[in-house]
A and B are shown apart, each in its own frame.
Chain A
């Protein structure tokens, strides 16, 4: 089963946020308007599907700036492909809904 068939609308939104360089959990929430109880499970699921990766920022850099380190997320190539497919699918819906 291809990643796209399991990609929900919210999942597509999250991928879109990552594609727009909103990498951190709270930033994705701000961009998508989705709550944490939606965003973080999606990020974990996308990570398990290898559409997204996550890693900690440089600890030394963060501590040097006097703040805790953050975890950030990035699209993988599979994730980019899945996003492209989803964008095409939802564009059809936009055409159907768009005139209302």
Chain B
């Protein structure tokens, strides 16, 4: 039959489409439907003249695609059993299709309006999708372990004279008892991942490296349900004393240091000078979050695991009294966390502590809930503001659409039908904006995770997943409805008599003006809330950066040069090594001073006393860090092992321990106080100075000392020279965490968190102000349009341009003031929510409130200026004619 058909290839393709569509038609009418369509198709391609060929081809192809719609409609009609029943449904589909095509026409004909609306949608939806991707990856995504809901961490609530506190550390003996005692816990594993016991020096390779590791019970990987990527994980015999030393590598370490060589498994590596057999490699997605919530070493992550053996537990000779850093467990199936906790406290009652079980998920991410909730709320406000803004823009278009809507009503369209049309149009804009927003959120996610402070865990799991896309789709639908509901309802109130008889587009009734005014006031109020958030964070960040840490920060380089130590933390030869190291580094070009410390500023690793912190330094410390000596002296090179043990204390420690007397020469905790130095902010800028005791490392050797090098050149420029000196003294000595003190401060949790908040809230506040300005501009511009005749009359009667500008700007000013007042009231509870994020500020800081209000009013007045200028140039003659 096709031999007489023009365009046989096209005919074949169209016939295939029709046959596929026919499968949707109910069986009873399928044959007739298919035959009718194929007959029409044949005739359409055979009976037409050749000219207009491409238009014909396009038409036939479009109709063949449209056949699916017809087939589906006939299927729907058949389901509803007859003419009357399917009519409404079929008409609904038909009208939706019609509305879609009408919306597409609006796209083409009103490009400026379309671009503006789509952009505003994209910003609101994209911002929400971006934040949700972070919330989902960090908070909502379950831990990448088997049955993560069963995993818990066993904490202890203890009491001190300072109050109750949660202690993660548990006695080794308790851990063994929980592991072997059955009950509500199916498996129990101890973990040591802090201090010096979990530090491993990888040597025997080109560049020695200090690795952060973890000592874990043999059942650690089994408990988490993590099979190895290669080889095997630990078995029961691996944690017995005297057996071969073994290790499991992380996937990143295997890739980075061993070039993904499978031969590493079964081979040996030198860790702390001891040969360890590599049993296996963990999967690439296996990560262990830093349980401290991202302290100074969060960036390292655990890269190597070694079995926890009794000799790793101190003190000797009774390991049961020693402690592990954490105990994790898997609950028995069917046992709840509360049940397990109650049973453990009953079975293992201890007057000094109460057992507290916390889900592992909560342990890792609990501290991020509030900041992420605040961020989600803020972008939610941005979305609301976007929708209100679009509603205002849509209302502004209504006067020009009144005639069109009146015609539809005359042709029989119900009010609901008109509402659906406007909703569909808004929905189409929202979908296009949502798709763009979702695409933008891919970059937004990268930007947000790059800026995020270091204490946000699991950022590597943040991605634009199907769940995020579904969320974006939901937000898109919601935004489309919110933005259209008011314009749809207002526009559907068509007055046929008025709207059809008038020969011109109406400027919109009083009701529409009032609705637009309300929308603009809402926009200004929302913008004020968002701008206030940004303003508070800016002021807080400014206050934080003005804090004097009490030490020199510029031109200082820090590097950890931890010597290998035994299980008791002893490192013979460490003092001699450090002496030689500092002498040689001090003679390097560009170096003006060098010192040693056990605790780098803003990356603290202090020793803890119940009432103060203790830090080991050398005799140059106070000079290099420019810490003034207030009383007595600093350390001297003669304060060595043969001399009386001395200490220098901070002024706050002097005040607390010696309130009435002179501390010099007094004994404190076994040390003779020889000097008092000024307080310093050693932890971060937000933490007040802590009472501190400084001791000399020569009198109390510490194998884990860090260099601080004072330079007369950019600090990082001496890095290579410092490394060369270290490796010249010991080729197997790792040099880790090399950074300038300024960078360490800038990336400290408090500063980076504040900086992050400032950036995000400022950007969102700026976006909000721009949207509010757009809204005001639109309202005032429409005011000018609707009052053109009145303005013309005023000018004809003697008003000058200044009076007209004043009239117009007053219109915008009234809205701005009302919106600002309402915004202030709404901003109070929002500001209180930000309390925890602010540094030494009340959330109702009057300076910030006034500044933000002033900025908002000024910008909205500026937005009124252009229409006001236009109004001032109205020609009264033209104004009278323009009606």
Q: Name A21-62 residues within 8 Å CB distance of B.
A: 24-26, 29, 35-38, 40-41, 44-45, 48-49
Most chain A beta carbons < 10 A, residue from B40, B44, B97, B412 = B40
Find B36's partner among A8, A35, A70 (CB 8 Å cutoff): A70
Known: A29-B63, A35-B66, A100-B503. A67 touches B4 (CB 8 A): yes
Q: List the B side residues contacting A36 at CB < 8 Å.
A: 63, 66-67, 69-70
Interchain nearest-CB distance for A94 vs B (Å): 11
Q: List the A side residues contacting B38 at CB < 8 Å.
A: 68
Nearest chain-B residue to A68 (Cβ)? B39
Find B63's partner among A8, A9, A35, A66 (CB 8 Å cutoff): A35
> What is the bound-complex CA distance between A45 and B82, given in angstroms?
9
Interface membership of B43, Cβ < 8 A: yes
Interface membership of B575, Cβ < 8 A: no
Interface membership of B372, Cβ < 8 A: no
What's the dominant secondary structure at chain A's contact region? helix
Interface membership of B35, Cβ < 8 A: yes
Q: List the B side residues contacting A38 at CB < 8 Å.
A: 94
Interchain nearest-CB distance for B477 vs A (Å): 24
Interface contact B3-A66, CB-CB below 8 Å: yes
Interface contact B42-A67, CB-CB below 8 Å: yes
Interchain nearest-CB distance for B360 vs A (Å): 55
Mark each residue of chain B from 405 to 423: 1 if its CB lies under 8 Å from any CB of chain A, else 0.
0010011100000000000
Q: List the A side residues contacting B74 at CB < 8 Å.
A: 40-41, 44
Interchain nearest-CB distance for A37 vs B (Å): 4
Q: Name B28-65 residues within 8 Å CB distance of A.
A: 32, 35-36, 38-40, 42-44, 46, 62-63
Interface contact B83-A70, CB-CB below 8 Å: no
What are 13 contact pairs spanning A and B, CB under 8 A?
A: A8-B412, A26-B44, A36-B66, A37-B73, A45-B90, A49-B83, A67-B39, A67-B42, A67-B43, A67-B46, A68-B35, A96-B410, A97-B407
Interface contact B63-A26, CB-CB below 8 Å: yes
Known: A41-B77, A48-B83, A67-B4. A25 touches B40 (CB 8 A): yes
Nearest chain-B residue to A9 (Cβ)? B411
Nearest chain-B residue to A66 (Cβ)? B4
Interface membership of A93, Cβ < 8 A: yes
Interface membership of B87, Cβ < 8 A: yes
Nearest chain-B residue to A49 (Cβ)? B83
Interface contact A41-B63, CB-CB below 8 Å: no
Known: A48-B82, A67-B4. A25 touches B36 (CB 8 A): yes
Q: List the A side residues contacting B69 at CB < 8 Å.
A: 35-37
Interface contact B73-A41, CB-CB below 8 Å: yes
> What is the bound-complex CA distance between A9 and B503, given in angstroms?
24
> Which 7 A-B residue pairs are closest in the complex by CB-CB distance?
A37-B69, A48-B83, A70-B39, A68-B39, A26-B40, A71-B36, A36-B66
Find A26's partner among B3, B43, B407, B500 (CB 8 Å cutoff): B43
Q: List the B side residues contacting A24 at CB < 8 Å.
A: 40, 43
> What is the bound-complex CA distance between A71 and B36, given in angstroms?
6
Total count of chain A residues near the partner, CB < 8 A: 26
Interchain nearest-CB distance for A40 vs B (Å): 5
> What is the bound-complex CA distance between A55 and B44, given in angstroms?
19
Known: A68-B42, A70-B39, A100-B403. 19 other contacts (CB 8 A): A25-B36, A26-B63, A35-B63, A35-B69, A37-B66, A37-B73, A37-B94, A41-B73, A44-B74, A45-B83, A45-B90, A66-B1, A67-B4, A67-B46, A70-B36, A71-B32, A71-B39, A93-B411, A96-B500
Interface contact A93-B43, CB-CB below 8 Å: no
Q: List the B side residues contacting A70 at CB < 8 Å.
A: 36, 39-40, 43
Interchain nearest-CB distance for B201 vs A (Å): 74
Q: List the B side residues contacting A96 at CB < 8 Å.
A: 410, 500
Mark each residue of chain B from 90 to 107: 1 if its CB lies under 8 Å from any CB of chain A, else 0.
100110010000000000
Interchain nearest-CB distance for A72 vs B (Å): 10
Interchain nearest-CB distance for A65 vs B (Å): 9
> What is the bound-complex CA distance between A37 and B66, given in angstroms?
6
Q: List the B side residues contacting A48 at CB < 8 Å.
A: 82-83
Nearest chain-A residue to B33 (Cβ)? A40
Q: List the A side residues contacting B44 at CB < 8 Å.
A: 26
> What is the bound-complex CA distance between A45 and B35, given in angstroms?
19
Q: List the A side residues contacting B411 at CB < 8 Å.
A: 9, 93
> What is the bound-complex CA distance between A36 and B35, given in angstroms?
15
Interchain nearest-CB distance for B653 vs A (Å): 84
> What is the bound-complex CA distance between A87 and B775, given in angstroms?
46
Interface contact A41-B42, CB-CB below 8 Å: no
Q: List the B side residues contacting A26 at CB < 8 Å.
A: 40, 43-44, 63
Nearest chain-B residue to A54 (Cβ)? B36
Interchain nearest-CB distance for B788 vs A (Å): 23
> What is the bound-complex CA distance between A40 and B70, given in angstroms?
7
Interchain nearest-CB distance for A10 vs B (Å): 9
Nearest chain-A residue to B68 (Cβ)? A37
Mark each residue of chain B from 1 to 26: 1 if its CB lies under 8 Å from any CB of chain A, else 0.
10110000000000000000000000
> What is the bound-complex CA distance between A31 and B117, given in angstroms?
36
